[in-house]
Amino acid sequence: MGKYTGLIKQARKLVNQEASKKAKPAPEPIDETVNLSIKVAAVRRRHWVAEAKREGTTITSVIIEALSNRFGEPD
């Protein structure tokens, strides 16, 4: 065993104690945004993106609206 092993262990213990005192409480879990991938023909995607831009909306918002209307929202 090394000359300073005990001293190093004590220092680590003190550092860990201080860190646990300063630790912030865990934040509330929030809904994380994730990807939803589907395969569609490129010509359809281009058409839908162009139409959404003309209407001043996004494909994402249209898909979310359609899925929510069809299947509802989680409790």
Contact 59, 49 (CB under 8 A): yes
Query: Amino acid identity of 61?
Result: S
Instruction: Answer whether residue 72 shows pLDDT above 70.
Output: yes
pLDDT in tens, 9-59: 888 888 777 766 666 666 777 788 899 999 999 999 999 999 999 999 999
Instruction: Answer whether residue 74 shows pLDDT above 90.
Output: no
Q: Which of 46, 48, 47, 53 is nearest to 66 (CA)?
A: 48
pLDDT of residue 23: 62
Q: How far is the C-alpha of 73 from the C-alpha of 67, rounded, in Å?
A: 9
Tell me the mean pLDDT in the region 60-74. Answer: 94
Q: How far is the C-alpha of 8 from the C-alpha of 14, rounded, in Å?
A: 10
At CA 51, angle to CA 48 and CA 57, rounded to 5? 100
